[in-house]
Structure 1
Amino acid sequence: LTFYLPVYKGGPHGAAKLGAGVFAYSALSAFGDGVGHLLSPAKAAADVPELRTDNLKAVAVYGDDQMNDARMALMTVRAAVESGATVLNHAEVTGLRFTRGRVTGAELKDRTDGTEFGVDARLVLNATGPWVDHLRRMEDAGAAPSIRLSKGAHLVLKRTSPWKAALATPIDKYRITFALPWEDMLLLGTTDEEFEGDPADVAVTEKDTAQILDEAAFSIRDQQLSRDLITYSFAGLRVLPGGPGDTSKAKRETVVTEGRGGMLSVAGGKWTTFRHIGRTVMNKLAALPGRPLAEDMEPIARLPRKLPLPGIANPNAVAHRLLVDGGTPGPRMAADTARHLATHYGSLAFDIARLASEDPALAERVHPDAPEIWAQVAYARDHEWAETADDVLRRRTTLTIRGLATDSVRARVEDVLGDR
């Protein structure tokens, strides 16, 4: 995805500084995303029609990548299952099990039906994100905080015109506001403020919405920022190292701690380093008392550094095949559905096409204004651990972010989930 950094008169950074910055960024990525350079305001406005051009001096250009984080998470979980992991969705940790002072398991509760059960383990790894200190206090009631939380909010809007690039607009010396063409929509954000309290209570406030729209207005015309265009808003929590200072300036690094009972806790990091974090954690697990047998750990050491996730394939090739035969003997698959399946499932899209072929009802769209088909709902139920309507509408498909998770759609999804 091409990113434009607009340089306005009186802005926090000059054109020369930003030009040098994007060149260095491209150099660090071995110019794999294109050489960073400066662009004329007229050319940028042709690619982003809603770009404000008043007092626009220049536009710095760089390349980066984007993905759907929910789909990435699912494919990572699927890879774990294919390697022998047992996955429990909607399982809450209510307590830890101890043997002679060592953590040797966890007490769990099924959030869907209330069933309580436990798991014994030689080692327990606490990778619960913003809840990491909550579990550390289950291990040791006096455990000092290891992290602090930063809240980030986003808005999703319908686009008033096509965008061929994203905007990354400097707000001050430290913060940038983003406007990304994403899932046929426009994704705006993000905010950055310290958060205290129960992570489950994080939510977008009116203050967040106003801030995001106000900051977006630095570089985006008013007609694209109408509140009537907002289809969805969401907030999340960044896990940052503990310490003083502004959260916007804190390092986005990983914190690994070993507790009094031998539980290993890991928090922080980001998608671009998640494989490295995994290797680091496995090496630490292997060195802890009560570690798994050497032969159990040996496959970890042999893992290739570039192991593809399930479904990895060229989306253009997958979409072409779906369009040619669609996997169905009936009507040819719509182009937007084929592209959507190819980019969100890769080669696994053919499994969904097969479901649609076997049952024509599953080839129908979930909503006329979205590319998703009912085969995806059945696939989420049978192969992606979907238990609730939100699992499907918000975490397996894009229907919620498009503002299309209507009551009637939700009811039909619940019917499909109940048909096991």
Structure 2
Amino acid sequence: MFSNKERTHYLQTMHEELYDLVIIGGGITGVGVALDAVTRGLKVALVEMQDFAEGTSSRSTKLVHGGLRYLKQAQVKEVAELGRERAIVYENAPHVTTPLWMLLPFYEGGTFQKTTTALGLTVYDLLAGVKRSERRTMLSKEDVLTRVPMLREQGLLGGGMYVEYRTDDARLTIEVAKAAAERGAKLINYAKAVRIDERNVAFTSVYVQDTLHGNEYQLKAKSVVNAAGPWVDEVRQLVEPVEGKHLVLTKGVHIVVSHDAFPLDQPVYFDNADGRMIFAIPREGKVYIGTTDTFYEEAAERVQATDEDVMYLLQAVAYMFPSVGLTKDQIESTWAGVRPLVHKEGKDPSEISRKDEIWHTGQRVITIAGGKLTGYRKMAQSVVDEVVKSMHLTAGKCITKHLPLSGGDLNGSKFFEQYVDTWTKRGVTHGFTEEESEALVRWYGTNVAQVMSYEHETSDLPAPLYASLRYSIDYEMAATPVDFFVRRRGMIYFDIASVERYASAVMDVMAEQLSYSDEERSRYTQQLEQAIAEAKVYE
């Protein structure tokens, strides 16, 4: 089991061992490094000061993005690599990646024109190795308006259709973490690295504070990877002063509205009035719009949507969909995150490269920063290659290119729909409706049998929600209701009404299963209330 029920045991065991590699940071980059390293035969531990994916890795546009926009910046290599990695993510985890036909309209005077769009999408297909069934198609103005009648008609010339892959970013991170844990890596959330001591010639000591219970533990490592995302520079300061190369944070904000308020059925990637590209994507009876891109200089853990951010996105919708008339009071939820980018003097936020960079910090600490969700696997491979080379460790070759993630044991995406059909029928024998069963198998993939095995023990929660909750406690390291509602199920963004309805019942189950004290129950209740308030700040 991968559960906080075993928390003290995990930390005591980690305290007693000598690891080949200790990773600081439990976002997509850190867990990707853990999976790559453990499958090469290295002894691996990972610590995350918050919950897994609590930072940038749960606050993206929720796309395994092929990097089309980088063609505008002539970043050909990046487009090719992201396209290849996107296909790998889909094959290894079809339950958390869904092909999505995206419409790219082009207008007179816009960034994309008919000829350049056709050429750009063709080049994109070739560079990214897009399968034949998902290669671009070009549409006339009339075809575009048939698909999306709400689009601004003035100046419209036509459009292009290409495939993106929708995901749940936190879900993907959790499945990578579980895959690493299933293969022997020790990963623990709510464990903050507070000191790093490199004075011992045989190993580096990483001192970790259990932020749930207050105890401190020493982890001994032959090498350390700093994959702390927005907090990379803070971890570097535990080793040496931050000089020269450093992070700059940019903020991205998304808003969510109901499909009734914005009846969009076709995902659209459009050129805003200021030239920035914006997504509008239907999902689960909602439509989400994003993202902004502005410099951010405050504490990364306090990032929130502001009036300025929200008005920018509302104005973008008004510019491209003039008949919709979205207003602030129609916003159901928001999320905001920061991108940790390596500083480039004189660059605007959208111009700073998202490319990852790796460098050495101190004697045995390797730092990685930048990069994108889509490229996590390749980034991890590069990091572990550097660790093995520079620290003279014995390790096998990278095998993650064809390694299914947790829930993805299907021998490829082509078998996923067949698996869904099978378990949709089986779910009925477990007491779920066909609709409930299908939703569970699409969310959990080949782990759905374990999810469905939980007998429904409370009438206060719907059976699928109860099963999800128990599974998240026992197999996904969920420690608090916020962990569950935000990063295990994503409900706080796309079904916030159910979060409010079932908050008390979820708290009851978690309190019983994880033996909360009265103080913990009170603290976690306040955390959830705060998370709801932040998401609903524009209600």
CA contact (8 A) 1:39 1:60 kept: yes
CA contact (8 A) 2:407 2:445 kept: yes
Matched AA of 1:246:
D
Q: Which residue of 1 aligns with 2:512?
A: 419
Q: Identity, % of aligned pairs?
A: 25
Q: Please state whether the residue corresponding to 1:24 is helix, strand or coil.
A: helix
- Is 1:40 paired with 2:140? yes
Q: Distance in 2 between matches of 1:328 and 1:311?
A: 21
Stretches of structure 1 that go unaligned for 5 or more consecutive residues are 367-371
Question: 1:368-413 deviations in whole A, cap 9, x for unaligned?
Answer: xxxx521101111111000011100010113211222544422211
Q: Structure 1 residues 135 and 321, CA, compared in 2 at 3 Å: closer, same or farther?
A: same
Pick from 266, 285, 302 the counterpart of residue 165 of structure 1: 266
Q: Distance in 1 between matches of 2:218 and 2:209?
A: 8
- In terms of mean alpha carbon deviation, does 126-135 or 252-261 score higher? 252-261
Deviation at 1:166, TM superposition (A): 1.1
Pick from 344, 366, 372 the counterpart of residue 264 of structure 1: 366
Q: Distance in 2 between matches of 1:12 and 1:142?
A: 39
Q: Structure 1 residues 364 and 168, CA, compared in 2 at 3 Å: closer, same or farther?
A: same
- Is 1:209 paired with 2:343? no
* Structure in which a larger fraction of residues adopt helix: 2
Deviation at 1:19, TM superposition (A): 2.4
Q: Which residue of 2 aligns with 1:149?
A: 249
CA contact (8 A) 2:430 2:452 kept: no
Question: 1:7-34 deviations in whole A, cap 9, x for unaligned?
Answer: 2334343222222222222222334263
Q: 1:71-150 residue pairs with structure 2 within 5 A?
A: 71-100=171-200, 104-150=204-250
Q: Structure 1 residues 256 and 183, CA, compared in 2 at 3 Å: closer, same or farther?
A: farther
Pick from 20, 23, 29 the counterpart of residue 119 of structure 2: 20
Q: Structure 1 residues 347 and 47, CA, compared in 2 at 3 Å: closer, same or farther?
A: farther
Deviation at 1:53, TM superposition (A): 2.9
- In terms of mean alpha carbon deviation, does 126-135 or 25-34 score higher? 25-34
Q: 1:230-249 residue pairs with structure 2 within 5 A?
A: 230-244=331-345, 245-249=347-351
- Is 1:219 paired with 2:320? yes
Q: Which residue of 2 aligns with 1:383?
A: 475
Q: Which residue of 2 aligns with 1:308?
A: 404
- Is 1:359 paired with 2:451? no
Matched AA of 1:199:
A
CA contact (8 A) 1:137 1:143 kept: no
Q: 1:262-301 residue pairs with structure 2 within 5 A?
A: 262-289=364-391, 291-292=392-393, 294=394, 297-298=395-396, 301=397
Matched AA of 2:462:
R
Question: 1:342-390 deviations in whole A, cap 9, x for unaligned?
Answer: 22211112221222xx336489537xxxxx5211011111110000111
Q: Distance in 2 between matches of 1:374 and 1:29?
A: 40
CA contact (8 A) 2:140 2:158 kept: yes
Q: Please state whether the residue corresponding to 1:256 is helix, strand or coil.
A: strand
- In terms of mean alpha carbon deviation, does 381-390 or 59-68 score higher? 59-68
Question: 1:98-153 deviations in whole A, cap 9, x for unaligned?
Answer: 32489712121222222222211111111000110111111003544422211111
Matched AA of 1:140:
E
Q: Distance in 2 between matches of 1:204 and 1:103?
A: 43
Q: Please state whether the residue corresponding to 1:60 is helix, strand or coil.
A: strand
With the length of structure 1 as denominator, give the TM-score of the two structures: 0.89
Matched AA of 2:446:
S
Q: Distance in 1 between matches of 2:460 and 2:111?
A: 51
Q: Distance in 2 between matches of 1:198 and 1:102?
A: 35
Higher RCO (C-alpha 8 Å, min separation 6): 2
CA contact (8 A) 2:273 2:319 kept: no
Stretches of structure 2 that go unaligned for 5 or more consecutive residues are 1-99, 514-539
CA contact (8 A) 1:74 1:384 kept: yes
Q: Distance in 1 between matches of 2:457 and 2:416?
A: 24
Q: Distance in 1 between matches of 2:290 and 2:159?
A: 20
Q: Distance in 1 between matches of 2:491 and 2:439?
A: 12
Q: Structure 1 residues 209 and 333, CA, compared in 2 at 3 Å: closer, same or farther?
A: same
Q: Distance in 2 between matches of 1:265 and 1:285?
A: 10
Pick from 221, 229, 245 the counterpart of residue 330 of structure 2: 229
Q: Distance in 2 between matches of 1:218 and 1:7?
A: 14
Q: Structure 1 residues 46 and 80, CA, compared in 2 at 3 Å: closer, same or farther?
A: same
Q: Distance in 1 between matches of 2:400 and 2:288?
A: 35
Q: Distance in 1 between matches of 2:241 and 2:254?
A: 35
Q: Distance in 2 between matches of 1:84 and 1:403?
A: 36
Q: Please state whether the residue corresponding to 1:225 is helix, strand or coil.
A: coil
Matched AA of 1:53:
E
Matched AA of 1:48:
V
Matched AA of 1:250:
I
Q: Which residue of 2 aligns with 1:193?
A: 294
CA contact (8 A) 1:36 1:62 kept: yes
Q: Please state whether the residue corresponding to 2:492 is helix, strand or coil.
A: coil
Q: Distance in 2 between matches of 1:25 and 1:224?
A: 34
Q: Distance in 2 between matches of 1:329 and 1:303?
A: 36
Q: Please state whether the residue corresponding to 1:276 is helix, strand or coil.
A: helix
Deviation at 1:304, TM superposition (A): 5.2
Q: Distance in 2 between matches of 1:303 and 1:2?
A: 30
Q: Distance in 2 between matches of 1:389 and 1:360?
A: 18
RMSD of the TM alignment (CA)? 2.5
Tell me how many residue pairs correspond in the alignment: 405
CA contact (8 A) 1:102 1:262 kept: no
Deviation at 1:202, TM superposition (A): 1.5
Q: Structure 1 residues 106 and 86, CA, compared in 2 at 3 Å: closer, same or farther?
A: same
- In terms of mean alpha carbon deviation, does 252-261 or 152-161 score higher? 152-161
